[in-house]
Amino acid sequence: MNRCDSFKLASTTIIAVKRNNQIAFAGDGQVTLEHTVLKGNAVKVRRMYNNKILSGFAGGTADALTLFERLEKKLNEHGGNLRRAAVELSKEWRMDK
């Protein structure tokens, strides 16, 4: 057994597929704390900006909820311009850390 065999990869899955102008967007829905599943039906994919934008998150729940709120605010400030809202949010988020 080598050193890497003792590590188990655990992560959230968010996937988006576009084909023939149709989109499928999904998340796994599982919230864990180390090896314990806390919730099996979390909503990690949401509609934003009057249902015109789909977003998904992976990572800490507290950060994700804050990011959803801040992204929604930036989308409203920038008229639904996702690229500009994301850039402005990343600038703000980087300064908060």
DSSP-assigned states of every residue in 27-91: E---EEETTEEEES----EEEETTTTEEEE--S-HHHHHHHHHHHHHHHHHTTT-HHHHHHHHHH
Predicted structure pTM score: 0.70
pLDDT digit string (tens) for the chain, length 97 residues: 555 555 555 667 888 999 999 999 998 888 777 778 888 888 888 899 999 999 988 777 777 788 889 999 999 999 999 999 999 999 988 887 6
Catalytic residue among 12, 13, 32, 61: 12
12 tagged catalytic:
yes
Q: Which domains does the chain have, with CATH numbers?
A: 3-96 (3.60.20.10)
